[in-house]
Amino acid sequence: VYLTRKEWSLAAQKLKQVIDDSAQTRYRLMPTYAGIFGASAENNLESIFEVQFKSGSNGEGSPFTNQFAPIGSGTAVVAVGNPLGQNIPTATMNSAYEANDLRKDVSMKTSYVLAGKTVLHNYVVKYSGTPAANLDSDNNWIVLRYADVLLMYAEALNELGFVANGPAFDLLNQIRTRAGLPIKTFANANPALQITSQAQFRLALEKERRVELAFEGHRWFDLVRTDRALAVLADKGMQPHHVLLAIPQSQVDINPSMIVQNPGY
C-alpha cells in the first residue's frame, strides 16, 4: 500500500523491518526456485502468506492445476480432470526470460507430447500436480513471499535516491543470482547488465518482477503502481480509465448518493 501511494520512506521502513526480522529467525530465500512451488513445498521459509488448499472430501482443493493445463491436452499435462486452457502465457512473456534463467522451466512450458506428437503451446506449470479430482488439487496459492519483499525494498530505496551499486543493487542481484543469472551493476561491461540511472533501475526491477513473480498475480498491480500500465499494455487495448476497476453496480445501487461509478464504465 505504501508503494502504491508512493510513500517511499514508509514502505522502506516496513520492508526493512521484515528483512531485519528475517535475518534472525523468520523468512529467507529458498535455495532453489523450484523448491518454492508444489504441494510438497507449501508454507516454506520463503512464503510469508499463502492461501491454503486441501484436496479430497475433507477440504477445499485448488483449481489451478486443471485450469492452466492446455485445452485438448488430455492427460498429457495433468493426469486427472479437465484441462481448461486458462492463463495462457503470451509470446512476449516467453521471450521475457533471459537465456539460462532457471525460473522459466519452473514457471511455464512451450510444448507437450500427446500421442507421440509434440504440440507447441504455452502453458503455466508453476501449479502442476496430480489433483484428487477435477479442480481439486493440494497446491496452495502464494500471495506474498520473501523474494517480493526484497524487490519491493529495492524499489523503495531506488525511489528515495539512486545509488550506483548500492543496497538496491544487492537486493536485485540476490534474486538474479538464485535464478542462475549474472548480476547487474553500474559500470558493467555488458550493456544488457548495466544500470546507470534511477530510470534504468526502475525498468530492471519491472523486468525482474515480471519473471520472478510470473503467474502469481502481481504484474497488473506492478504496472498500475509504477504508472507504466498504459505504455506497456497499449497494444492490448489498455485505456486510461482501465487503471481503476469498475465498481460493482450492486454497490452503486445500494448507496447511490455516496458511491459513484468510476469514469469510463
Q: Which domains does the chain have, with CATH numbers?
A: 8-31+144-243 (1.25.40.900), 53-139 (no CATH)
Could you tell me which residues are beta bridge partners of residue 49? 144
Name the pTM for this structure.
0.94
Evaluate the CA torsion angle 61, 64, 69, 71 in order and state its sign: positive
Q: What percent of the chain has pLDDT over 90?
A: 97
* Residue 223 CA neighbour count, 13 Å, CB half: 17
pLDDT at 150 over 80: yes
The CA distance from 54 to 5, in Å, is 36
The CA distance from 11 to 1, in Å, is 8
| pLDDT-derived band at 144, boundaries 50, 70, 90 | very high
The CA distance from 125 to 134, in Å, is 17
Contact 31, 179 (CB under 8 A): no
The CA distance from 265 to 263, in Å, is 6
Chain segment 207-220, per-residue pLDDT in tens: 999 999 999 999 99
Q: What amino acid is encoded at 136 in this protein?
A: D
- Phi-psi region for residue 116, left (φ > 0), alpha (ψ -120 to 50) or beta? left
Contacts 24+ apart (CB under 8 A), 76-80: 76/112, 76/113, 76/114, 76/119, 77/112, 77/123, 77/128, 78/128, 78/129, 78/130, 78/131, 79/130, 80/130, 80/131, 80/132, 80/133, 80/134
pLDDT at 167 over 90: yes
The pLDDT of residue 57 is: 87
The pLDDT of residue 107 is: 98
Higher pLDDT, 24 or 239: 239
pLDDT at 47 over 80: yes
Q: Which of 252, 250, 253 is nearest to 261 (CA)?
A: 252
| Mean pLDDT, rounded, of the chain | 96
Contact 44, 37 (CB under 8 A): no
> Cell digits for 51?
492461501
Mean per-residue pLDDT for 220-224? 96
